Structures are given as C-alpha cells and as structure tokens.
Amino acid sequence: MDDTLNYTITIKSADDASTFYSVDYSAEEVSVTESQIRTRLTGARVFYVNHATGSDGNSGSASSPWATITYAYAWIRDNIDFAGQRAEILVASGTFDESILCYGPLTGIENHGGLTITGDTTTPSNCYNNYSGTGPAFSAFAFADVRLQGMKLANASGTDHCVKSWTSARIELGMIEFGDCALRCVQSADGWVNVKSRFGIAGQIKFDGNSQGGLLCEVGDGGIDITGATVEFGASVTFSGAIGSAFLTCGEGAYFACYDVTWTGTFTGRKYLVSNNAAAVSIDLLENIPGSLEGRWKSPKLSTPQGRLTLTNGTPVTTADVTAATTIHYEPYIGDFVPVSVNREAVYEMLTIGASGLQLQLSASDHLVDTNYDVVIFRTNDTTGPVVLGTLPAWSGNQTRSAALSAANGIMSNTASVTAVYNDGTNSGSKTLNAGEAVYLGTIRCTANGQTEDSIAKRFVWN
C-alpha cells in the first residue's frame, strides 16, 4: 500500500526582495530553513558594500549595505544559485582596511566572471584597500571564482603577497592599482590569475609602489595570463629586497602567458626570472618588459655555478675598488643555482643560493699574505648540513696548486681527498672532503693575513 503525504508550501519574501521557502507536510512536520535554500537568479543581481557605513548584519541592498567584501562573498556563496546569470558587488569609494577573502566555489557559474567586485573603474585609487595586517589584501582559495576591478591594493606592513590565488581558485583583474606590497603584488600558487578586458572595463594593472616583485607563478599549476591588456608602472617603482626579485617570477611547473600587452612606464629591477622547468611559458616579446635589469632563466638542471665571488654583498660584479676585505661573498649572477655534491661524491644537485647569499670570513691564521686559495662550496656534513663556502689548502707557489682540480660530470671539483676550512659567521671549522665533493667557484690571493683585494691595481678575486 502506498502512503500519501499532504504538503503545504509557503513562499515568503525577505526584506531585500530575495526569496526563501518553508515546506511542511501533515504526517510529520518538516521545515526547510532559509539557510538550506538558494535563491536562483533569473537576471543580473547587485549587492552593496560600504566599509564606512555598512554592517555585515544588513541585507546587502543599496540602502542596507554590508561592511566587508569577505562577508558579501560568503553570503552569496551560501545563498545564491547563479543559474548562468551574473552578480556584482558594488564597493563604495573610500580608504578601508580589509584582508578580503573569497573562499569556496559559487553555485551555477557557467562562465568565468559570473561574480564581479567593482569599486571605482574610472579612478581605482578612490577605492583603496590599504591593508595593515600581516596577510594578503585580497585572496581567493578553494575553487573560488571572482573578477576584481576598480580598486587599489596595498599591504606594505604585511608578511605575505598582496593578491593571492590558491588551490584552484580563479581571479580576474581589470583596472587595478598596486601600492607598496610586502612581497609580490600578485601570487598564483596552484590557482589562476587573468588580466583582461571584460564587460566594457579595460584589462589594466598599474604598479605604483615598491615590492619584491610584480607577478609570481609557482607551485604546480599556478598560472598568470595577461592578454590584450595594459601594464603600467608609476614614476618611481622598484622591485627588490630578496634574492630572485623580479617583475615576473615563474617557478617550476608554473605557467605564464603574455600576449598583446602594452607596457607603459619603467621600473628599477629585473624584468623576469623564469625556470627552465616551467610547465608552459608563452612569451610575447617578454624582453619588452621595461625593467632596468635583463631577465634571466634559472634551471635546476645540472650546470656550472651561476653566481660570482665578490667582495661587496649584493654586488656580483665589482663596481668600485675594495681593499683590505676580510669577507668573500657569493652572489647570484647569470642565475640563482649552484651545484652541490650529493652523498659526498661527484654527483651533484642544483641548489638555490639563499636570500642573503653565501659568505666566507677570512682567517689571519688560515689565509696568509701573498698566497693563493681556491674557493669551493660544500656541505658541512654528508647530506643535510649547511651549505658553506670554504678554501682548499694554499697553493704551493704563485702559479701552482697544491690540491688539483678536475672536471667531474662537467663540474670542476677537487681531484683527490683534501681538507677545507670554512667560516660563514655561524658555521666554522674544517672538513676532509672526498674527491669531487668540493665544487670550485674561484680563486683569491691574500694581500695581508686574513685580507684580500679587488681593485684596478690588484684583481685578486677571480671567477
């Protein structure tokens, strides 16, 4: 026998004209609350945020705006079925302080750009999120999908990137400006960031502050695509502050596409730093990026050392006379990688030179006047110890080594077992190295005990 249930369906209208439903039946009373029902859009919908006058307890209407974009996105995510339609969050002009988070997928999005967050698309700096905390000013995570346009962003006092797309999230940018940023302006790590024109709003980003870099693609499928857009640099923009700083940094397995881009203005810093193991790097005249330093490729594949010995920290090529120097520095030059022995044998892995470079403090007892020393790199223990610079035993004469060098797998290293000394200010001592364990970087000559020189008169640092 079939049971028959009698249903009563009640349709109610909320204050902001959205709709929710209550369902009851006579056998056992069951209700479906508003939080369990999504409003299905039949046309475009607009929500409102005003950081100065709004409240996240409001309805999000023009007369009752929300106070934060984070809440607006979360409410729309939990309550709206886009059904292929579009929605927009209009953000009132002003300066505000929010770590905007767009978390989770939206329901019913058929095309990217279904939800747009819009500030002032004529003068983006009028809608300025100057975030003072440690995190990003804007981030999207976990399959979030959003377009951001008409806003200026900064997070100068933070410890994170300014805009972040993570874990398969997607961000579109249009008419966006960046002020000072703690790290990179935009990071895509296993996410996606597009800069393009849409809905009549130009695909344009302007960098008008200082940071460690403009665009960072990394971690697997992280990608950035700039197509048919304008990229502008303000009057005095500098990308610096860390080893590997560049306008564009594209890591292993990451993706960067750049087509039909108009570059405006100039900046101080490297144009790009791209890994040879990037999954796909599509380049449209990347050399046209208007940076003061040429771009370079970095490769984890085995190669000769990519840095230089120098007496000036942060300056791989000497620009002024340096005399009576007591410290040798090793700085990136054509790339960031240097080969280091694996398991104390002539098998090498490519390691990135650290953010502060490497250094060797000379010793008055180990480094004697009018004597040559070969500078090498190795680990202080078998496999996991610190990587340090050291010197092999003193040459036996002005033109004769006491410890021979030879090529092993294309890398110059010590031919036989030998003892090296090292001191980087933290780690110091001596180590007996197996044949092939010490990778050769260059040679110095001491002008006094524990001192060397690199000048027009005495070029005593050789790479």
For the segment 183-230, what is each residue's pLDDT rounded down to a tens digit? Answer: 999 999 888 999 987 767 778 999 999 998 899 887 666 789 998 899
283: pLDDT confidence band, cut at 50, 70 and 90?
low
Q: pLDDT digits over 386-428, tens only?
A: 899 999 999 999 999 999 999 877 899 999 999 999 999 999 9
Tokens of 344: 């104390």
Using alpha carbons, list the distances in angstroms from residue 425 to 221, 223, 258, 377.
39, 39, 44, 15
Rounded-to-integer distance, Cα 77 and Cα 86, Å: 13
8: pLDDT confidence band, cut at 50, 70 and 90?
very low
| pLDDT at 243 > cutoff 60 | no
**Residue 360: CB partners within 8 Å, gap ≥ 6?**
327, 328, 330, 375, 388, 389, 390, 391, 422, 423, 424
Average pLDDT over residues 322-341: 91
Average pLDDT over residues 91-101: 98
Query: 359-397 burial, b for 16+ CB within 10 Å, e for fewer?
Result: bbebbeebbeeeebbbbbbbbbeeeeeebbbbbbebbee
**Residue 131: CB partners within 8 Å, gap ≥ 6?**
97, 98, 99, 137, 153, 154, 155, 158
What pLDDT does residue 383 have?
A: 61
282: pLDDT confidence band, cut at 50, 70 and 90?
low
| pLDDT at 323 > cutoff 70 | yes
Provide the 3-class DSSP secondary structure of residue 125.
helix
211 closest CA partner among 264, 265, 262, 157: 157
Using alpha carbons, list the distances in angstroms from residue 291 to 62, 225, 228, 244.
44, 19, 20, 14
- In terms of pLDDT, which residue wins out, 297 or 141? 141
Unique residue bearing structure tokens 């300066």: 95
Using alpha carbons, list the distances in angstroms from residue 375 to 378, 414, 434.
10, 11, 16
47: pLDDT confidence band, cut at 50, 70 and 90?
very high
- In terms of pLDDT, which residue wins out, 357 or 310? 310
What pLDDT does residue 15 have?
A: 44
- Averaged pLDDT of the chain: 87
C-alpha dihedral, 107 to 113 to 114 to 119, nearest 10°? 120
Amino acid identity for residue 348 in this structure: Y
Is residue 156 a contact partner of residue 209, using CB atoms and an 8 Å limit? yes
What pLDDT does residue 90 have?
A: 99
460: left (phi over 0), alpha (psi -120 to 50) or beta: alpha
| pLDDT at 99 > cutoff 70 | yes
Tokens of 444: 């110095």
287: pLDDT confidence band, cut at 50, 70 and 90?
confident
366 closest CA partner among 462, 270, 446: 446
What element of type H or E holds 71? helix 69-79
Average pLDDT over residues 273-292: 71
**Residue 28: CB partners within 8 Å, gap ≥ 6?**
none
What pLDDT does residue 53 have?
A: 98
Is residue 49 a contact partner of residue 72, using CB atoms and an 8 Å limit? yes
Strand partners, 99: none
422 closest CA partner among 452, 381, 463, 382: 381
Rounded-to-integer distance, Cα 194 and Cα 178, Å: 16
